[in-house]
Amino acid sequence: MGVTLSYLGVIVLLPVIALVLKGAEIGPARFWAITTAPRTLAALQLTLLAATMATIFNALYGLLMAWVLVRYEFPGKRILDALVDIPFALPTAVAGLALSALFAANGWYGAILEPMGLPVVFTIWGVAIAMSFTSIPFVIRAVQPVLEDLDPQYEQAARTLGAGRFTIFARVIFPAILPAFLVGVTLSFARSLGEFGAVVFIAGNLPMKTEIASLLAVIRLEEYDYNGAAVIALVLLLIALLLLVVSNLLQARALRYKGKTA
Amino acid sequence: MSAHADPAPAALAPRESRLVPRLLIGLALLLTAVFVVVPMAYIFHRAFAAGYAVFLTNITEPNTLHAIWLTVLTAVIVLPVNIAFGVAAAWAIARFTFPGRKALLVLIEIPFSISPIIAGICYLLLYGRNGLIGPYLLANDIQILFALPGIVMVTMFVTAPFVVREVLPLMQAQGSEQEQAALTLGASGWQIFRRVTLPNIRWALLYGAVLCGARAVGEFGGVSVVAGKIRGQTNTLPLQIELLFQDLNVTGAFAAASTLTLIALVVLVLKTLMESRR
């Protein structure tokens, strides 16, 4: 046990403490000045907006996939189920490379989209697509087990009462999977905010336009502006911890809900 | 419940056509093909587009070979450490109550919830020239950043939670009755672990180890901050991909990427096999 704690202390806690101490050393006034500098704000705004776009797509796609994988039988279902994990298994740099080449003007997707006036590479869409790819499994894997455990008798009861398919989903199924769904959405959003490897390949990283917050932190490091890097990292850390708390609360609620219906 | 008390859903829903399920399945397959399968297939397409000989030249380029070696070395160091840590931490949390147990759980989750980039910056602020203990390291000529120790430690940070997360729920669910029985029969601590605990958790452990290994091999963000990206020295394979991409050697980048994709596919197959065993 002592070994466990000291390992975590050295590998995880100590570096995080170094960041927090650095932030304290900077002081609130300069912290605020760095956070509200135009380039930082633009980077944070882009990161939040693109992560929101990615999460909305993943929420809908995840719900669809979980539903299809649990409720229907079709050939290739097990393969589809396994394919869901590709984005987690594939290194993010590899994903970024593949996506940026696919959506580039001479890539398979870019060749179709660019003539239509829909450039993806070097735009916020590219950032959102990279973020979305790397966090695809979260919603699916959160909703799937809950949907599997759902007692069919409630749906059957609703059906005998004359409810249509859509009403059953909206009034019976969705409320039951909502806590798990929200956990998945939160995790997906958190991962999108922190995603780096996949994004830097496709974003073009133009300051004020397609530069994500974590990349700006790295750029500040390379300029030896340690304060600037530390402030941006701390802001991202705070958002991440906030999301961690939210997801833990939601998870606790989801467990309670499961206990009630079981 | 007897079988005839649970009527087939189809009998209750004569109105439902097969159209909606087919549409939904079709949409799910289409989206997965477009967003998941094609990008992966595209990697191999581009890696081999110029022919097998070019692929071989690209992959045996000295800097790429060194990057492969460094990546494998890092994974070989990180994996056993995190397996040992994962089992020890899960054991401590599942079997004992102690002050700070909750805090320990949160601490284990931290690497999952923060960006690897932040992890890298934390390490730089700790061990860097102007960092907390950087001057001490400099005075004693200990090199952590821009060298193997830094790469290994950041990778440990990023992959720390994988084994614990798989093993802990299983240990908690199984309880400690079997271990206590072994204890009353006079087994030593090591014997209990090897003969009772380990067989019970072996699949979860292996599963966590596979995920941990996959992540260790593919880690990019955190390592990119602390590695210094010195060609042929501290470039891991994912960093080498970025470098080749920036050098506009896209075919070379895809060749390097294809090796990592192959590892990812193997991981995927192992994962699927293990899931059916658990």
Q: Do residues A243 and A188 touch, judged by C-beta distance below 8 A?
A: no
Give the mean model confidence (pLDDT) for residues A85-103.
95
Interacting residues of B140 by C-beta distance below 8 A, sequence separation 6+ = none
Mutation test of the interface with chain B: which of A48, A97, A161, choosing the one with the most B Cβ atoms within 10 A?
Answer: A97
Q: Is A254 on the interface with B (CB under 8 A)?
A: no
Residue range of the domain that includes B39: 17-48
Report the phi/psi class of residue A242: left, alpha or beta, with left for phi > 0 and alpha for psi in -120 to 50.
alpha
Q: Do B70 and B185 belong to one domain? A: yes
Q: Do residues A200 and A95 touch, judged by C-beta distance below 8 A?
A: no
Output the CA torsion sign for B164, B170, B175, B178.
negative
For each successive 10 residues of chain B (278 residues), what is the average pLDDT? 45 62 95 96 94 92 94 96 94 86 85 91 90 88 91 96 92 87 89 89 90 93 89 91 93 95 93 79
Q: Do B38 and B173 belong to one domain? A: no
Q: Is B128 on the interface with A (CB under 8 A)?
A: yes
**Is A254 a residue whose pLDDT tops 50?**
yes
**Residues 15-74 (A) with a CB less than 8 A from some CB of B:** 15-16, 18-19, 21-22, 61, 64-65, 67-69, 71-72, 74
3-state SS string for chain A? CHHHHHHHHHHHHHHHHHHHHHHHHHCHHHHHHHHCCHHHHHHHHHHHHHHHHHHHHHHHHHHHHHHHHHHCCCCCHHHHHHHCCHHHHCCHHHHHHHHHHHHCCCCCCHHHHHHHCCCCCCCHHHHHHHHHHHCCHHHHHHHHHHHHHCCHHHHHHHHHCCCCHHHHHHHHHHHHHHHHHHHHHHHHHHHHHHCCHHHHHHHCCCCCCCCCHHHHHHHHHHCCCHHHHHHHHHHHHHHHHHHHHHHHHHHHHHHHHHHHHC
Q: Do B25 and B124 belong to one domain? A: no
Helix (H) or strand (E) holding B126: helix B116-127
Q: Do B63 and B22 belong to one domain? A: no
**Nearest of B37, B32, B57 to residue B47 by alpha carbon:** B57
Inspect the interface and report whether the beta carbons of B117 and A86 lie closer than 8 Å.
no
Residue B273 Cα, gap to closest chain A Cα (Å): 10
**Nearest of B103, B113, B121, B111 to residue B82 by alpha carbon:** B111
**Residue A30: its pLDDT value, please?**
93
Q: Compute the distance between CA of residue B199 and CA of residue A51 in angstroms, rounded to an integer.
A: 42
CB atoms within 10 A of CB B15: 8
Residue B190 phi/psi, 5-degree rounding, is -65, -40
Q: Compute the distance between CA of residue A126 and CA of residue A102 in angstroms, rounded to an integer.
A: 11
Nearest beta carbon to residue B92 from set A4, A155, A160: A4
Structural domain contains residue B88: yes
Residue pLDDT, tens place only, B195-212: 888 998 988 899 899 989
**Residue B8: its pLDDT value, please?**
47
CB atoms within 10 A of CB B238: 27
Nearest beta carbon to residue B220 from set A68, A74, A196: A196
Nearest beta carbon to residue B113 from set A156, A190, A233: A190
Look up the CATH architecture of domain A38-261. Answer: Orthogonal Bundle (1.10)
Question: How many structural domains is chain B composed of?
Answer: 2
**Residue B4: its pLDDT value, please?**
46
**Residue B13: its pLDDT value, please?**
47
Report the phi/psi class of residue A241: left, alpha or beta, with left for phi > 0 and alpha for psi in -120 to 50.
alpha
Interacting residues of B247 by C-beta distance below 8 A, sequence separation 6+ = none
Q: Do B159 and B22 belong to one domain? A: no
Mutation test of the interface with chain B: which of A7, A11, A25, A160, choosing the one with the most B Cβ atoms within 10 A?
Answer: A11
Give the mean model confidence (pLDDT) for residues A248-259.
73
**Residue B11: its pLDDT value, please?**
46
Inspect the interface and report whether the beta carbons of B117 and A214 lie closer than 8 Å.
yes
Q: Do B37 and B141 belong to one domain? A: no
Give the mean model confidence (pLDDT) for residues A138-145.
94
Residue pLDDT, tens place only, B228-244: 878 888 999 999 999 99
Q: Where are the domains of chain A?
A: 38-261
Q: Do B24 and B146 belong to one domain? A: no
Q: Compute the distance between CA of residue B149 and CA of residue B202 in angstroms, rounded to an integer.
A: 30
Structural domain contains residue B250: yes
Structural domain contains residue B182: yes
**Residue A232: its pLDDT value, please?**
95
Q: Do B217 and B191 belong to one domain? A: yes
**Residues 136-195 (B) with a CB less than 8 A from some CB of A:** 153, 156-157, 160
Which letter, b or e, does each residue of A175-205 get, where b requires 16 or more Cβ atoms within 10 Å of its Cβ? ebbbbbbbbbbbbbbbbbbbbbbbbbbbbeb
Dihedral in degrees, nearest 10, Cα atoms B161, B164, B169, B172: -140
Q: Do residues A96 and A202 touch, judged by C-beta distance below 8 A?
A: yes
| CATH number where B271 lies | 1.10.3720.10
Interacting residues of A63 by C-beta distance below 8 A, sequence separation 6+ = A139, A143, A181
Domain boundary among B27, B48, B69: B48
Residue type, B6: D
The residue with tokens 């135009």 is A38
pLDDT tier at A138, thresholds 50, 70, 90: very high
**Residue A151: its pLDDT value, please?**
84
Structural domain contains residue B215: yes
Percent of chain A at pLDDT exceeding 70:
97
Residue A24 Cα, gap to closest chain B Cα (Å): 13
Inspect the interface and report whether the beta carbons of B32 and A94 lie closer than 8 Å.
no
Structural domain contains residue B2: no
Residue pLDDT, tens place only, A97-130: 999 999 999 999 999 999 999 999 999 999 999 9
Q: Do B130 and B265 belong to one domain? A: yes
DSSP 8-state code for residue B147: S
Q: Is B252 on the interface with A (CB under 8 A)?
A: no
Q: How far is CA A21 from the centre of its chain?
A: 28
Higher-pLDDT residue of A158, A252:
A158
Q: Do B43 and B69 belong to one domain? A: no
Inspect the interface and report whether the beta carbons of B261 and A193 lie closer than 8 Å.
no
How far is the first Cα of chain A from the last one, in angstroms, to the nearest whole number?
36
Q: Do B89 and B209 belong to one domain? A: yes
Structural domain contains residue B78: yes
Task: Give me chain B's average pLDDT, please.
Answer: 88
Q: Do B92 and B213 belong to one domain? A: yes
**Residue B2: its pLDDT value, please?**
41
- Residues written for chain A: 262
